[in-house]
């Protein structure tokens, strides 16, 4: 991850343009601020960032990644093509340019949208083929042409001539991402996929419902050598170098990365690996557990109707027999009582969700082993030991570790907000505005009433103070910022403000006092708020914040990451930020988000 930059406090935000050098703006320049002559542009590393279209009003032009102009913004419509080609329209005229902006199509009456390194052109109703240098590869003396893959075939009467162009290559950035995706399947290897025949797909239809797979897979090493030929459907990989695979439906086996067979292709199904190399296998209609690489039987086949890996780190398996479901360890000892459960959630939350055949919900708390039997319609807040349980019209909060009630069952619904619980219920169904017709009460984790019930909307900030926005029927005329002990930090006239982006208080314009709309942070001291006219919602980890004609960027903790020094600034898109700095346009790399990192990590 990129290290965030901080700045000395003595360099106040308003003075930052003078404290920083012309190039040091808190983030790496992808394109330095050297471009002008246009109003806006977009650039993304997702496909091709070597060049991009700029706009000046309704006119378009082209610049490249070094910041140099390729075409001025003088065209109605521009399209960028592979091989460096550019097509453009100006009024009713069409133009064909190469990557240098040279008008290659000038001598010709018309041209075909280019392919790779060539383009078909016409002159006096005769066609031929040129390259990006304007050289004629096929002279303009043919009547017709057609394309078959990368081959261009020209004919005139019985005469025929062809030219094999370069294959249309994907953009380098696309190749980089696809290679990273392929390597992500298993470290040090590329997964390759080839099309399956119609007969192979028809065979799969006879074994299982649903749409058949269109590809079969293999592995290459990073040098491009074939390690496993593309013959298989891959299942799960193990870090020791094993993988499950099948050649035809319901015939699974285990391979090594050296293409050695560790288990014959005869299993009907195979589950997920555990860290220690255990694998659930279904053979001849019966489930068992094998340990690899020797394929030793560690849990005999047929003891359970179904086995799946539940916790791969601890060698715990979910097993089913008759109408009962439970969890066992490698010694076949129950680690969770068997019961009539249709679903036991995988260990992704602090509290485990249970569902019975009637879809009623309950919980299991692994540290204490306590079970709250399924009997509820909804269960929420499973990342906590304090869990919300609801029937049709009432909710409660219980400690899943011991079943103790923290907030008793009460009419309404409960939501977790910050470290509090918000109990709310509707008393006037004709009102639909935020908080209108709804009573809210705020409770702490001990079940103590902190605020309410009152006809308000409540927002809890990161420091666990909260904002009380009153219903229009409420008696008081002030919205309040409060602490849990009842202290009022600030009061403001209601209707004028709302909470945005989680931490900003937005105050609307007031025509009576002629005050413009503005934002300030909830953490600003009362009476010393810093007002910003523009604060955008988060985009790729950054908020754009503007004041006094200059914009900068804050992170999700509201710390300045890129200082407020830009006359114009866009939202982060695929890790790139377009900015205008000291009169010139440039592109910054987002310091907290890199487009390629999500694939290459």
What pLDDT, on the 0 to 100 scale, is given for residue 2?
Answer: 38
Q: Which two tokens stand for residue 558?
A: 């509201």
Confirm if 245 and 252 have CB atoms less than 8 A apart. Answer: yes
Strand pairing partners for 195?
215
Q: Which residues, 6 or more positions from 336, have their beta carbon under 8 angstroms from its beta carbon?
A: 326, 327, 344, 364
Alpha-carbon span 486 to 451, nearest angstrom: 8
What pLDDT, on the 0 to 100 scale, is given for residue 472?
Answer: 63
Which of 30-44, 91-105, 417-431 is predicted with the least confidence, judged by mean pLDDT? Answer: 417-431
Residue with tokens 């079970």: 371
Domain endpoint, select from 164, 198, 218: 164
Residue with tokens 């523009």: 534
Task: Identify the three-state secondary structure at position 83.
Answer: helix
Task: Check whether 11 has a pLDDT greater than 80.
Answer: no
Which of 298-312, 401-415, 470-484 is predicted with the least confidence, judged by mean pLDDT? Answer: 470-484
Span 108-151, pLDDT tens digits: 999 988 888 999 999 999 999 999 999 999 999 999 999 998 99
- Tell me, what DSSP letter sits at residue 320? E
- Flag whether 19 is in a domain: no
Task: Check whether 437 has a pLDDT greater than 80.
Answer: no
- Flag whether 476 is in a domain: yes
DSSP H/E element including 302: none
The 10 Å CB-count burial string (b at 16+, else e) for 258-290 is: eeeebbebebbbbbbbbeebbbbbbbeeebbbb
Span 161-220, pLDDT tens digits: 999 999 888 899 998 888 887 777 777 788 888 887 777 677 666 555 445 567 889 998
Percent of the chain at pLDDT > 70 equals 92
What pLDDT, on the 0 to 100 scale, is given for residue 211?
Answer: 52
- Look up the pTM and report it: 0.79
Span 280-290, pLDDT tens digits: 999 999 999 99
Task: Check whether 475 has a pLDDT greater than 60.
Answer: no
Which of 20-34, 232-246, 336-350, 403-417 is predicted with the least confidence, judged by mean pLDDT? Answer: 20-34
- Flag whether 428 is in a domain: yes
User: What does residue 378 show for φ and ψ, rounded to 5 degrees?
Assistant: -135, 145
CA distance to 106, 324, 344, 478, 498, per residue, from 336 (Å): 78, 12, 10, 53, 48
CA distance to 1, 291, 299, 312, 328, per residue, from 281 (Å): 40, 10, 10, 15, 16
CA distance to 153, 287, 427, per residue, from 161 (Å): 6, 64, 82
- Flag whether 399 is in a domain: no
Task: Identify the three-state secondary structure at position 413.
Answer: strand
What pLDDT, on the 0 to 100 scale, is given for residue 119?
Answer: 95
- Tell me, what DSSP letter sits at residue 272? P
Confirm if 355 and 341 have CB atoms less than 8 A apart. Answer: yes
Which of 14-28, 45-59, 451-465, 517-531 is predicted with the least confidence, judged by mean pLDDT? Answer: 14-28
- Flag whether 408 is in a domain: no
**Per the structure, how many domains does the chain have?**
2
- Tell me, what DSSP letter sits at residue 332? S
- Among 472, 484, 522, 527, smallest CA distance to 500 is for 522
Task: Check whether 336 has a pLDDT greater than 90.
Answer: no
What pLDDT, on the 0 to 100 scale, is given for residue 427?
Answer: 75
What confidence category does residue 409 fall into, taking pLDDT thresholds of 50, 70 and 90? very high
What confidence category does residue 492 fall into, taking pLDDT thresholds of 50, 70 and 90? confident
The 10 Å CB-count burial string (b at 16+, else e) for 12-24 is: ebeebbeeeeeee
What confidence category does residue 495 fall into, taking pLDDT thresholds of 50, 70 and 90? low
- Among 314, 323, 327, 318, smallest CA distance to 341 is for 323
Q: Which two tokens stand for residue 331?
A: 């010694």
Alpha-carbon span 36 to 223, nearest angstrom: 44
What pLDDT, on the 0 to 100 scale, is given for residue 429?
Answer: 60
Task: Identify the three-state secondary structure at position 239.
Answer: coil
What pLDDT, on the 0 to 100 scale, is given for residue 224?
Answer: 83
Task: Check whether 226 has a pLDDT greater than 70.
Answer: yes
Task: Check whether 21 has a pLDDT greater than 50.
Answer: no
- Flag whether 209 is in a domain: no
User: What does residue 458 show for φ and ψ, rounded to 5 degrees?
Assistant: -120, 130
Alpha-carbon span 443 to 224, nearest angstrom: 61
Sign of the four-CA dihedral 195, 197, 202, 206: negative
Alpha-carbon span 141 to 122, nearest angstrom: 9
Strand pairing partners for 354?
344, 362
Sign of the four-CA dihedral 205, 209, 212, 218: negative
Mean model confidence pLDDT for the chain: 89
Domain endpoint, select from 521, 551, 580: 521
Strand pairing partners for 41?
54
Q: Which residues, 6 or more positions from 177, have their beta carbon under 8 angstroms from its beta carbon?
A: 596, 599
In terms of DSSP bridges, do strands 215-221 and 226-238 run parallel, antiparallel, or are they unpaired?
antiparallel
Alpha-carbon span 448 to 550, nearest angstrom: 46
Which residue range(s) make up the domain with 140?
Answer: 40-164
Task: Check whether 539 has a pLDDT greater than 70.
Answer: yes
Q: Which residues, 6 or more positions from 379, have their beta carbon under 8 angstroms from its beta carbon?
A: 353, 361, 362, 363, 387, 388, 389, 390
- Tell me, what DSSP letter sits at residue 14? G
Alpha-carbon span 127 to 73, nearest angstrom: 30
Q: Please return the burial class of 104, using the count of CB atoms within 10 Å of its CB with bins 0-12, 13-18 and 19+.
A: buried
- Flag whether 116 is in a domain: yes
Q: What is the DSSP string of 58-74?
A: TEEEEEETTS-EEEEEE
Task: Check whether 513 has a pLDDT greater than 90.
Answer: no
- Flag whether 214 is in a domain: no
**Whether residue 293 has a cis bond before it, omega within 30° of 0:** yes
Domain endpoint, select from 147, 164, 181: 164
Task: Check whether 53 has a pLDDT greater than 90.
Answer: yes
Q: Which of 194-203, 335-344, 470-479 has the highest mean pLDDT?
A: 335-344
What confidence category does residue 297 fall into, taking pLDDT thresholds of 50, 70 and 90? very high
DSSP H/E element including 556: none
What confidence category does residue 434 fall into, taking pLDDT thresholds of 50, 70 and 90? low
What pLDDT, on the 0 to 100 scale, is given for residue 187?
Answer: 76
* Opening angle at CA 229, ends 228 and 233, nearest 5: 85
Task: Check whether 10 has a pLDDT greater than 80.
Answer: no
């Amino acid at each position: 991850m990129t290290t965030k930059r901080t700045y000395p406090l003595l360099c106040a935000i308003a003075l930052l343009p003078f404290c920083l050098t012309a190039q040091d703006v808190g983030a790496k320049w992808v394109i330095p601020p050297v471009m002008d002559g246009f109003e806006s542009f977009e650039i993304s590393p997702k496909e091709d960032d070597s060049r991009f279209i700029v706009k000046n009003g309704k006119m378009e032009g082209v610049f490249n990644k070094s910041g140099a102009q390729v075409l001025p913004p003088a065209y109605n419509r521009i399209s960028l093509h592979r091989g460096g080609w550019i097509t453009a329209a100006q009024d009713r005229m069409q133009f064909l340019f190469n990557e240098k902006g040279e008008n290659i199509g000038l001598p010709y009456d018309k041209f075909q949208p280019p392919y790779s390194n060539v383009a078909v052109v016409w002159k006096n109703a005769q066609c031929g083929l040129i390259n990006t240098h304007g050289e004629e590869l096929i002279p303009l003396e043919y009547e017709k042409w057609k394309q078959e893959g990368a081959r261009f075939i020209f004919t005139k009467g019985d005469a025929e001539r062809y030219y094999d162009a370069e294959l249309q290559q994907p953009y380098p950035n696309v190749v980089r991402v696809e290679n990273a995706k392929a390597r992500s399947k298993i470290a040090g290897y590329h997964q390759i996929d080839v099309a399956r025949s119609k007969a192979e797909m028809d065979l799969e239809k006879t074994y299982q419902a649903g749409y058949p797979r269109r590809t079969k897979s293999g592995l290459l090493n990073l040098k491009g050598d074939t390690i496993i030929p593309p013959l298989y459907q891959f299942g799960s990989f193990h870090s020791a170098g094993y993988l499950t695979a099948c050649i035809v439906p319901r015939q699974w086996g285990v391979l090594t990365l050296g293409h050695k067979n560790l288990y014959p292709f005869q299993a009907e199904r195979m589950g997920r690996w555990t860290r220690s190399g255990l694998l659930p296998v279904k053979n001849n209609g019966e489930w068992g557990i094998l340990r690899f690489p020797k394929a030793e039987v560690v849990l005999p086949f047929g003891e359970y109707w179904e086995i799946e890996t539940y916790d791969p780190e601890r060698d715990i398996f979910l097993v089913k027999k008759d109408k009962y479901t439970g969890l066992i360890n490698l010694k076949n000892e129950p680690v969770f009582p068997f019961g009539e459960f249709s679903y036991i959630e995988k260990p992704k939350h602090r509290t485990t969700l249970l569902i019975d055949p009637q879809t009623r919900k309950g919980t299991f708390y692994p540290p204490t082993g306590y079970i709250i039997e399924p009997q509820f319609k909804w269960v929420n807040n499973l990342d906590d030991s304090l869990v919300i349980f609801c029937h049709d019209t009432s909710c409660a909060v219980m400690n899943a570790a011991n079943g103790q009630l923290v907030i008793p069952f009460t009419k309404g619904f409960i939501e977790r907000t910050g470290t509090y619980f918000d109990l709310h219920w509707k008393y006037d169904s004709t009102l639909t505005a935020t908080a209108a017709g709804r009573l809210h009460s705020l409770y702490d984790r001990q079940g103590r009433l902190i605020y309410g019930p009152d006809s308000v909307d409540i927002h809890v900030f990161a420091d666990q103070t909260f904002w009380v926005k009153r219903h229009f029927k409420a008696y008081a005329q002030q919205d309040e910022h409060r602490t849990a002990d009842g202290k009022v930090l600030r009061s403001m006239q209601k209707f004028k403000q709302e909470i945005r982006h989680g931490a900003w208080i937005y105050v609307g314009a007031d025509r009576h006092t002629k005050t413009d709309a503005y934002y300030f942070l909830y953490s600003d001291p009362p009476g010393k708020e810093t007002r910003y006219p523009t604060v955008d919602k988060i985009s790729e980890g950054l908020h754009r914040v503007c004041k006094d004609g200059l914009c900068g960027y804050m992170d999700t903790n509201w710390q300045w990451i890129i200082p407020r020094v830009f006359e114009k600034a866009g939202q982060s898109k695929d890790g790139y930020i377009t900015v205008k700095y000291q009169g010139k346009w440039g592109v910054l790399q987002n310091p907290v988000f890199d487009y390629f990192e999500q694939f290459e990590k």
